[in-house]
Structure 1
Amino acid sequence: MSRTDLPRPGAGTALRCHASDVELTLRSKPVLVDFSGTGTLTSKADGGAARLSGLRLVADLPDAGGPEDGGTVTLEQGGDGSDGVSTADGGDLVITLDAAVDQPGGTVRATTRDAARFSTAHAPGPSASGRYELVEPIELIMADAPEVVVARIDELVLHGEPA
Structure 2
Amino acid sequence: MSRAVLPSVGVEVELSCRVSGAAVTLRSRPVLVDLVGECRVRVEEGSGDSVGTRLVGLRLTGDLPDAGGPEDGGTITLELEDSAAGVLRPLPDAPSRFANELVGAFTLTVVQPDSTVGAVGRHPVRLSAARTAFPPEGDEYALAEPVEFALPDVPDVTIATVEELVVRLRVT
Bin the TM-score by the shorter chain.
0.7 to 0.9
Aligned in 2, Cα 1:5/1:68: closer, same or farther, shift over 3 Å?
farther
TM-score by length of 2: 0.81
Q: How does 1:1-80 map to 2 (within 5 A)?
A: 8-44=8-44, 48-78=51-81
Point out the structure with the larger strand share: 2
The one of 127, 152, 160 aligned to 1:151: 160
How many pairs are equivalent?
157
> For the residues of structure 2 that align with 1:52 and 1:126, how far apart are their CA atoms?
14
Give the letter for the 1:10 counterpart: G
Aligned in 2, Cα 1:149/1:36: closer, same or farther, shift over 3 Å?
same
Give the superposition deviation at 1:88: 7.0
> For the residues of structure 2 that align with 1:66 and 1:75, how far apart are their CA atoms?
23
1:6-35, Cα deviation, whole Å (9 max, x unpaired): 5x5313111000110111111111111101
Give 2:136's aligned residue. Answer: 128
> For the residues of structure 2 that align with 1:143 and 1:126, how far apart are their CA atoms?
36
Structure 2 residue runs of 5 or longer lacking an equivalent are 90-98
Give the letter for the 1:40 counterpart: R
Contact 1:13 1:128 in 2 (8 A): no
Establish whether residue 93 from structure 1 lines up as the match of residue 102 from structure 2. Answer: yes
Contact 1:86 1:126 in 2 (8 A): no
Give 2:96's aligned residue. Answer: none
Structure 1 residue runs of 5 or longer lacking an equivalent are none
CA RMSD of aligned residues (A): 2.6
Give the letter for the 1:109 counterpart: G
TM-score by length of 1: 0.85
Contact 2:55 2:103 in 1 (8 A): no
Give the letter for the 2:136 counterpart: A
Give the superposition deviation at 1:3: 6.6
Give the letter for the 2:113 counterpart: P
Aligned in 2, Cα 1:69/1:43: closer, same or farther, shift over 3 Å?
same
> For the residues of structure 1 that align with 2:6 and 2:64, how far apart are their CA atoms?
33
> For the residues of structure 2 that align with 1:5 and 1:127, how far apart are their CA atoms?
10
Contact 1:92 1:126 in 2 (8 A): no
Q: Please say which of residues 143-152 and 37-46 is displaced more in the overlay.
A: 37-46
